[in-house]
Structure 1
Amino acid sequence: MRTDYVLEVMHELVAFVRVAEAGSFSAAARQHGQTPSAVSRQVARLEKFMGVALLQRSTRQLRLTEAGLEVLERGREMVAAAQATVRVAEGHVGEPRGRVRISAPKAVARQLLHQPLLDFLQRYPEVDLHLMVVDRPVDALREGVDLVVRLTDDPPPGMVARALMPVRQCVLASPAYLAGRAPVHTPADLIAHSCIALGEQERDNRWRFVQGDEVVEVAVGGRYTVNHSEMRLAAVEAGLGVGCVPDFVAREALAAGRVVRLLPDWVFDNAYQGTAYLLFPASRHTPPKVRALIDHLLAALGPAAQPG
């Protein structure tokens, strides 16, 4: 095999890296606007060129051969070097332009990101945005996403993490619901109330509260369970019970007096809170389009933009 023919199969090498990282031909094809058969042919040409099998194909999954693992390691380095080369060129472009892909959980996208993203599009007419609204964790490198917004207390290694804002859960009820009912002074008082829980996990009906060194866990029950924060807030406003809602979702309803916060001296402790981080791959050459969006979101939502 003549090494000066390598450039002739660079496209096939990139296709192989995408398939190996995505875990299937169809996933790699979806991410890059190709058909699975076209991607499969590219990988087959690379295997023929190299004279070795890189993938073990079965009806359920793909497995890398020993040679495939080595080619993937070297191929990633080559793809990364090519991307870095392009980013050097982009770094000399005066105005941000091109497409930026960003992902965020549903409530964060709707309540926090939507307006800043609209403002960004007005400010940068040469930049297009693709917003992926998903509640699952997104792998930025594997899925080709430039920026990820994630609620976490433990940002993933290998990513730059810029804190946007803390996110806490509020326990709320409407004035109409509370009228004539037993007051809620302690977490244990919730046992006597109809509570609106998430219902995604078995433990979602066990509400955990922290105050200093004291930890209290209460088993709650109620007539309505829904795993959508805005729908829980609507149910609370309708007087159906006591609900837990992220503070940024409840902000307007609290300010208008449609709901009141219960147990404000206690921290409602669950897995659906933390800090909203803006995550992006570490690089010495962040494209201007991505850098502009990072700066815009930090200005709109970062610590300096928070009240008080």
Structure 2
Amino acid sequence: MGTNAFLKILPEMVTFLRVAELGSFSAAASELGMTPSAASRQVTRLEKELGVQLMQRTTRQLRLSEPGIEAFAHCRDLVAAAQATMQVAQQFVNEPRGQVRVSAPKAFARHVLHPLLMAFLERYPNVDIQLIVADRDIDPIREGVDLVVRLTSDPPQGLVARPLTAVRQLLCAAPRYLKEKGAIGHPRDLLAHSCLYLGEQERDNRWRFCKGDEVVDVIVQGRYVANHSEIRLDAVLGGLGVGCVPDFVARDALDGGLIVPVLGDWAFQANYHGQAYLLFPSNSFMVSKCRVLIDHLTSALQRKD
């Protein structure tokens, strides 16, 4: 394909990219200021020029073909390069500028990310932050988010995954609860206690403990089951039982002596252990506003670890 032919299909490539990202001709057409039929014709023209079918169209959904998946990746890089070209001046100014959209789960956003973002905003007065707090998996490409924090042991393929900090679940109780109900020296002692757990999955009340070669599984029960970590911590503080809480949620209460660890000499192998990763699309044209925020978050959390 000659240079002139390539230049002619640039708009078609942009349309194809947005249709693929949004999964809809109508949504892409609305964003690009054209009719759905015009968007469909542009994608058809691109397929004709390339000589391959890029999309399998049904009345219910659009699905990328194998050539379409590869073309999608190249079109995404092309648009990223174009965006970087438009912002090229920003790369050379002393202070990065512009807005960065960041997404994170609710508890992590509140307890970990928010204080770091406040410090970042003070340090970089020309950069603005939009924090999107959501406990679902955000797709940064489809949803137009620059950086996504995800707590997982298996980061997704196709995105750069920068580790931020380890996340573990902590068993804890209020001192007065243990004084009233008795000390807990072995995992099986939990059978006589009220335990607070997530309850999102059937296995959430199956707690596993390890010490040396000994492995103990305990099916716990409790009066209060809640799939919100701050609510479970509040219930622990209120003396309702032994709670399973992410360490970053429990840290202040633990440091203040309001709660104490339970079975700290055992390794607690709970669900939802893992790593907090910072996810973003892979390309060579990351603008400085994102780069400085990535560096700020990773360096701050690595120092804490």
User: TM-score under structure 2 normalisation?
Assistant: 0.84
Q: Which residue of structure 1 lines up, in the alignment, with residue 13 of structure 2?
A: 13
Q: Which residue of structure 2 lines up, in the alignment, with residue 94 of structure 1?
A: 94
Q: Which residue of structure 2 lines up, in the alignment, with residue 43 of structure 1?
A: 39
Answering whether residue 157 of structure 2 is matched by residue 151 of structure 1, we say no
Q: Which residue of structure 1 lines up, in the alignment, with residue 200 of structure 2?
A: 200
Within-5 A mapping of 1:80-119: 80-83=80-83, 85-86=85-86, 89-119=89-119
Residues 258-288 of structure 1 deviation map (CA, whole Å, 9 limit, x = unaligned): 2121101112212312222223334444311
Residues 116-154 of structure 1 deviation map (CA, whole Å, 9 limit, x = unaligned): 112222322221212222223333334332222222334
Q: SS state of the match for residue 112, structure 1?
A: helix
Moved more, 237-246 or 284-293: 284-293
Q: Which residue of structure 1 lines up, in the alignment, with residue 277 of structure 2?
A: 277
Tell me, in whole angstroms, the C-alpha distance in 2 between the residues paired with 1:141 and 1:215. Answer: 42
* Superposition deviation, residue 9 in structure 1: 5.1
CA contact (8 A) 1:147 1:279 kept: yes
Residues 2-56 of structure 1 deviation map (CA, whole Å, 9 limit, x = unaligned): 9736545534421321221333346657xxxx45984734522414645757545
Number of residue pairs aligned between Structure 1 and Structure 2: 301
Residues 140-173 of structure 1 deviation map (CA, whole Å, 9 limit, x = unaligned): 3343322222223344445444332222211111
CA contact (8 A) 1:91 1:285 kept: no
Tell me, in whole angstroms, the C-alpha distance in 2 between the residues paired with 1:147 and 1:49. Answer: 33
* Superposition deviation, residue 222 in structure 1: 0.9
- Tell me which amino acid in the other structure corresponds to 1:305: K
CA contact (8 A) 1:87 1:285 kept: no
Q: CA separation of 1:12/1:94 partners in 2, compared to 1, >3 Å: closer, same or farther?
A: farther
Tell me, in whole angstroms, the C-alpha distance in 1 between the residues paired with 2:284 and 2:237. Answer: 48
Residues 184-237 of structure 1 deviation map (CA, whole Å, 9 limit, x = unaligned): 111111011111110110000111122233321100011111111000000111
- Tell me which amino acid in the other structure corresponds to 2:124: Y
- Tell me which amino acid in the other structure corresponds to 1:184: I
Moved more, 278-287 or 106-115: 278-287
Tell me, in whole angstroms, the C-alpha distance in 2 between the residues paired with 1:234 and 1:179. Answer: 18
- Tell me which amino acid in the other structure corresponds to 1:130: Q
Within-5 A mapping of 1:41-80: 41-47=37-43, 49-50=45-46, 52=48, 55-64=55-64, 72=72, 75-76=75-76, 78-80=78-80
Tell me, in whole angstroms, the C-alpha distance in 1 between the residues paired with 2:166 and 2:282. Answer: 23
CA contact (8 A) 2:204 2:271 kept: no
Q: CA separation of 1:113/1:62 partners in 2, compared to 1, >3 Å: closer, same or farther?
A: same
- Tell me which amino acid in the other structure corresponds to 1:134: A
Unaligned 5+ segments in structure 2 are none
CA contact (8 A) 1:55 1:63 kept: yes
Q: Which residue of structure 2 lines up, in the alignment, with residue 210 of structure 1?
A: 210
Residues 234-261 of structure 1 deviation map (CA, whole Å, 9 limit, x = unaligned): 0111111111001111111112222121
* Superposition deviation, residue 78 in structure 1: 3.3
After superposition, the CA RMSD in angstroms is 3.0
Tell me, in whole angstroms, the C-alpha distance in 2 between the residues paired with 1:252 and 1:70. Answer: 48
Tell me, in whole angstroms, the C-alpha distance in 2 between the residues paired with 1:41 and 1:280. Answer: 32
Moved more, 183-192 or 50-59: 50-59
- Tell me which amino acid in the other structure corresponds to 2:248: F
CA contact (8 A) 1:88 1:285 kept: no
- Tell me which amino acid in the other structure corresponds to 1:304: R
Q: Which residue of structure 2 lines up, in the alignment, with residue 304 of structure 1?
A: 303
CA contact (8 A) 2:55 2:68 kept: yes
Identity, % of aligned positions: 56
- Tell me which amino acid in the other structure corresponds to 1:40: P
Tell me, in whole angstroms, the C-alpha distance in 1 between the residues paired with 2:164 and 2:69. Answer: 38
Tell me, in whole angstroms, the C-alpha distance in 2 between the residues paired with 1:91 and 1:195. Answer: 53
Q: CA separation of 1:292/1:267 partners in 2, compared to 1, >3 Å: closer, same or farther?
A: same
Q: Which residue of structure 2 lines up, in the alignment, with residue 230 of structure 1?
A: 230
